[in-house]
């Protein structure tokens, strides 16, 4: 080791290192002398009181029982009721109801609405999430709030807004009608309303993932010669894919059950502008309870499957969020 007052400025890097490591540790006047670590104390388990065991059991039963009872009354009960109703006239009646002309058309319309909403909200949802996370402009925070608006506004109000826009006296209605394009009381308006009410799903799921993964990998890709498009497809998209899929599942779940907004703009043309929920509604009005319940069971089944898919996707997405924290 070199002497501290020796050739500090000398060319030998080693001697410099030694002097620093020695002086740096002592240069701060307030630095305390190194402390010895106290031996770790292991908490010893306290003996349990055996006398009040029955009280603990009562307490535990109460804490566990109340939420379970609540769930049974609110969730399981209605589900069982609707399944029982659907099969009240036997399996044949159930199959007949869910394969009727009305039902099949209703399912097809629901699938179409969901499909349109998923396509548009995925493409634009990712674009909006990107803008919120990566661009810096005045009103960025406001945009983040605005995106949630469709969740806050009642779908009926959304339907009303669509009517005001595309109705006969609406802003766009006359111009579109003149070109022979029918929006209101046809599937385009229904798709529009469905898309609107499910807009936040993808945005809200992708935004936190984009925030968590940060810009590091994107910047690395850029310095390695990747264009913006290459960076997006090869680096960003694989990182947010589970978030996007979760958002899509959420969109599907939200759109399957959409009713109020669609009801307003559909015009209720039986067999023409009816989604599955609207078919249920009409069957109930026509006092065909069994048919209504049968279709309801199919929708409920679809929702439960989506729920399972979402649980799966959630763990994958959370892993992306976690690894973002770890590798950064």
Partner 1 sequence: MSIEARGLSKRFGTFQAVKDVSFTVQTGEVTALLGPSGSGKSSVLRLIAGLELPDVGQILIDGEDSTWSSAERRGVGFVFQHYALFRHMTVAENIAFGLDVRKVPAPQVKERVTELLELVQLAGYAGRFPNQLSGGQRQRVALARALAPKPKVLLLDEPFGALDANVRAELRAWLRRLQDEVHMTTLLVTHDQEEAMELADRVVVMNKGAVEQAGAPSEIYDAPATPFVASFIGASNRLEGRISAGRTEVEGCDVDWRGALGAGGQGARDGTTDATIEAFVRPHEIEIRRERGTEGPSIPAAVVRATRLGWQVKIELALPTGRTLTVHQDKEAVDALGIKAGQRVFITLRGAKIFARDIAATASPAAAQLS
Q: Is 15 in the site for partner 1 (CB under 8 A)?
A: no
Q: Is 209 in the site for partner 1 (CB under 8 A)?
A: no
Contact region for partner 1 (CB under 8 A) — 24-32, 94-102, 122-130, 176-184? 24-32
Please say which residue, 14 or 174, places its beta carbon nearer to partner 1: 14
Contact call for residue 325 and partner 1 (CB under 8 A): no
Q: Is 225 in the site for partner 1 (CB under 8 A)?
A: yes
Name the residue among 220, 236, 219, 235 with its Cα closest to residue 130: 236
Distances (CA, A) of 304 to 107, 161, 202, 298, 307: 16, 31, 19, 10, 5
Question: Among candidates 125, 307, 263, which has minimal Cα distance to 199?
Answer: 125
Q: Which is nearer to partner 1, 8 or 284 (CB)?
A: 8
The answer to whether 23 contacts partner 1 (rule: CB under 8 A) is yes
Quote the tokens at residue 73: 């009354």
Among positions 185, 235, 255, 270, the unique one binding partner 1 when judged by CB under 8 A = 235
Q: Minimum CB separation from partner 1 for residue 113, in Å?
A: 33
Nearest CB to partner 1, comparing residues 65 and 238: 238
**What's the sign of the alpha-carbon dihedral 308, 312, 315, 321?**
negative
44 vs 223 by CB, closer to partner 1: 223
Of 107 and 242, the one with the shorter C-beta distance to partner 1 is: 242
d(Cα 273, Cα 109) in Å, to the nearest integer?
Answer: 7
Give me the torsion for CA of 253, 257, 261, 267, rounded to 10°: 130
Estimate to the nearest angstrom the gap between the alpha carbon of 312 and the chain centroid.
13
Determine the length of the chain: 328
Q: How far is the CB of 226 from partner 1 (least distance, A)?
A: 4
Our finding on whether 321 is near partner 1 (CB under 8 A) is: no
Burial class (CB in 10 A: 0-12, 13-18, 19+), 226: middle
Half-sphere exposure for 133 (CA within 13 Å, toward CB): 22
Does residue 141 bind partner 1 (CB under 8 A)?
A: no
Closest to partner 1 by CB, 2 or 93: 2
Q: Which residue has the tokens 């469905």?
A: 194
The span of 3-11, 199-207, 270-278, 304-312 binding partner 1 (CB under 8 A) equals 3-11
For position 19 contacting partner 1 by CB under 8 A, the verdict is yes
Is 134 near partner 1 (CB under 8 A)? Answer: no
In the complex, the smallest distance separating the C-beta of residue 28 from partner 1, rounded to whole angstroms, is: 8
Told to check if 238 binds partner 1 by CB under 8 A, we report yes
Nearest one of 239, 176, 175 to 210, comparing CA atoms:
239
| Segment interacting with partner 1, rule: CB under 8 A, options 37-45, 185-193, 199-207, 233-241 | 233-241
Question: Please, which of residues 25-64 interact with partner 1 by CB under 8 A?
Answer: 25-27, 29, 33
8 binds partner 1 (CB under 8 A): yes
Of positions 152, 223, 287, 315, contacts partner 1 by CB under 8 A: 223
Complex with partner 1: residue 189 or 221, whichever CB lies closer = 221
Chain residues that interact with partner 1, rule: CB under 8 A: 1, 3-5, 8-11, 13, 16-17, 19-27, 29, 33, 216-217, 219-227, 230, 234-235, 238-239, 323-324, 326-328
């Amino acid at each position: 080791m070199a002497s501290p007052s020796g050739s500090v400025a000398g060319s030998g890097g080693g001697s410099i290192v030694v002097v620093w490591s020695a002086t740096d540790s002592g240069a701060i006047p307030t630095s305390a002398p190194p402390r010895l670590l106290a031996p770790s104390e292991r908490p010893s388990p306290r003996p349990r009181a055996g006398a009040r065991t029955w009280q603990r059991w009562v307490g535990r039963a109460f804490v566990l029982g109340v939420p379970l009872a609540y769930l049974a009354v609110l969730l399981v009960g209605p589900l069982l009721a609707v399944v029982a109703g659907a099969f009240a006239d036997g399996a044949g009646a159930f199959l007949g109801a869910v394969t009727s002309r009305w039902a099949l058309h209703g399912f097809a319309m629901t699938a179409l609405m969901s499909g349109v909403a998923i396509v548009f909200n995925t493409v634009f949802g990712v674009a909006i999430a990107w803008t919120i996370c990566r661009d810096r402009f005045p009103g960025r925070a406001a945009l983040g709030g605005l995106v949630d608006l469709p969740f806050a506004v009642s779908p009926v109000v959304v339907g009303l807004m669509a009517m005001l826009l595309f109705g006969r006296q609406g802003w766009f209605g006359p111009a579109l009608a003149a070109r022979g394009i029918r929006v209101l009381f046809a599937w385009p308006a229904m798709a529009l309303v469905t898309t609107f009410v499910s807009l936040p799903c993808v945005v809200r799921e992708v935004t936190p993932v984009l925030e968590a993964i940060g810009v590091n990998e994107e910047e690395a890709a850029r310095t390695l010669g990747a264009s913006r498009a290459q960076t997006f497809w090869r680096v960003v998209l694989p990182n947010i894919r589970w978030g996007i899929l979760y958002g899509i599942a959420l969109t599907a779940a939200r759109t399957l059950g959409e009713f109020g907004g669609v009801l307003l703009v559909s015009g209720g043309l039986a067999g023409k502008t009816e989604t599955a929920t609207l078919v249920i509604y009409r069957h109930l009005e026509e006092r065909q309870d069994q048919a209504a319940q049968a279709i309801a069971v199919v929708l409920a089944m679809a929702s439960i499957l989506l729920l399972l898919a979402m649980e799966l996707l959630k763990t994958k997405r959370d892993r992306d969020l976690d690894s973002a924290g770890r590798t950064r």
